[in-house]
Amino acid sequence: MGEVVNHPSAWGQRRLRVLVDELFSGSDTDARDAFRQAITALLTRDRYSGTMTEESDDLDDAEQMGFNAMLNNIEHGLTLIRRLPSGSVEIRDRGWCHKVSFHPLRITSLREAG
């Protein structure tokens, strides 16, 4: 049996861009791009290949579903996301605070008290 390769679908990539643009319609383009990149980095940080990315075009189908689920949580107030003055993005999700910094791409995760 051959190797199974899960390539990202172009339809899924376009859909994620549209969802981010709709969800953050009050934010400027730079902020929307930063949110998209931070969510992507967070979802890809534990890849088996070890290659974290900030490019949503690189998400496989399972990662695209995770991205969609995170957007749903943001929309319903279960996950909070904000852009910091430094240009980094903070994501608060299920008792964790993740700070995503760019150039170089780095994620710092802290368990919140409580």
99 located within any domain: no
User: Which stretches within the chain are classed as H helix?
Assistant: 10-23, 29-44, 61-75
57 domain residue, yes or no: yes
pLDDT of residue 74: 92
Report the predicted TM-score, pTM, of the whole model to 2 decimal places.
0.83
Percent of the chain beyond pLDDT 70? 89
User: What distance in Å separates the CA atoms of residue 63 and residue 45, rounded to the nearest whole number?
Assistant: 11
70-104 pLDDT, tens digit per residue, is 989 999 999 999 999 999 999 999 999 999 999 99
Residue 4: its pLDDT value, please?
41
3-state secondary structure of 27: coil
In a domain, 75, yes or no: yes
Asked, for residue 63, whether it belongs to a domain, the answer is yes
17, part of any domain: yes
User: Domain for residue 67, yes or no?
Assistant: yes
Confidence label for 64 from pLDDT (cuts 50, 70 and 90): confident
Which of these, 107, 36, 98, 41, lies nearest to 68 by C-alpha position? Answer: 36
Domain span holding position 62: 10-80
Say how many domains are in the chain: 1
